[in-house]
A = this chain, B = another copy of it.
Amino acid sequence: MKTLSIKDIAVKAGVSITTVSFIINGKAKEKSISEAVIKKVEEIIKESGYKPNQIARSLRTGNSNIIGLIIEDISNSFFSRIARLIEDKAYKKGYKIIYSSTENDVEKAKDLINMFKSRKVDGYIISPTKGIEEDINALLADNKPVILFDRNLSDVETHYVGADHFKASYKSIESFIKDGKRKIALVTTDIDVEQIVERFDGYKQALIDHQITYSDELVLKIHFNQDETESIEEMKNLFLSKEIDAVLFATNYLAISGLKALKQLNKQIGDDFSVIAYDDHEVFELHTPSISAVQQPLEEIAETVIQLILNQLSSKAKAENQKVIIPAKLIER
């Protein structure tokens, strides 16, 4: 059964293709098509189940009603939750989302941008890797809306939505200090992206502001994409070698590995050893004892992102670039 085209509808209705097209696109009134014809055509469309070929439509109009979402890793719960929220909200406005993971691989990221570009997506939502500044700038030059989220790219002039990583990190450390901790470690990753750097800076600044000397030895940078068992070993070393009394994990997956390490060491979390994780996760709530975490306002981030991109899409005019920084919450457990 061949799929129907607009032509079939036109023939069946005894009108021209143009007329059918106008009706489909709600321009019937404007183009003064008679009520009778409108009714007839609509009926035929309904009963035949005709659906316009979006590919042809895209080819002609140059847009697609699709927004491309590029994230680091869909299997990370922070991203999958955000993705779900964004998808939801976009869907309600008639936009579809297609998403794909970069795995923090610059080449793959570029590939994805190209793929989205050649599929003519209308706009881009990206949690960027370093190294794709040029590609993003090319999109902007091409007048495509781009919203960055989670991490900013300083060489790119566009909208950005993210949590206040510096402050969240700073506050976490401060809360340790209030509890009398002094040997505070940071476990972070070695990927050079802004939000990770900010978390590091927050850590450092909080120490300095409270007259605690910063020491490189208390900071463990885990290789991105490194095997988890290896990461766990490195953390065990850190936890054993120094008399650490608190540790901030800069991402949720690092915190999870850290908890595994502690479990293997049989080291209890409690009064003399505190932990805070960055990005909340079900694990932390259920853990015994439960684990404090920095909670990013996912809902709010998603909402803002969607808002910004829809604005861009509806108004041709290029709005002022906005950098929206949303406070994160420290959930003390």
Give the interface of A toward B (CB within 8 A). 1, 3, 51-56, 58-59, 64, 73-75, 77, 80-81, 83-84, 87, 91, 96-101, 108, 114-115, 117-120, 141-142, 256, 259-260, 263, 281-283, 285-288
With a cutoff of 8 Å between Cβ atoms, the chain B residues found around residue A77 in the complex are 75, 77, 80
With a cutoff of 8 Å between Cβ atoms, the chain B residues found around residue A87 in the complex are 74, 100-101
Please report whether the interface of chain A is mostly helix, strand, loop or mixed according to DSSP: helix
How far, in whole Å, are A141 and B73 apart by their CA atoms in the complex? 35
> Of the candidates B83, B142, B256, B283, which one forms a contact with A3 in the assembled complex, judged by CB atoms under 8 Å apart?
B142
Known interface pairs A80-B80, A287-B287; A1-B141 also in contact (CB < 8 Å):
yes
How far, in whole Å, are A120 and B52 apart by their CA atoms in the complex? 11
- Is A55 within 8 A of B53, CB to CB? no
Across the A-B interface, the 3 shortest Cβ-Cβ residue pairs: A98-B98, A75-B84, A288-B288
- Is B283 within 8 A of A263, CB to CB? no
- Beyond the given pairs A75-B80, A98-B98, 18 more chain A to chain B contacts, judged by CB atoms under 8 angstroms and listed by A's residue number, are A1-B141, A51-B117, A53-B118, A53-B120, A54-B119, A55-B58, A55-B118, A55-B119, A56-B59, A59-B59, A74-B80, A74-B87, A77-B77, A77-B80, A87-B101, A256-B282, A259-B286, A288-B288
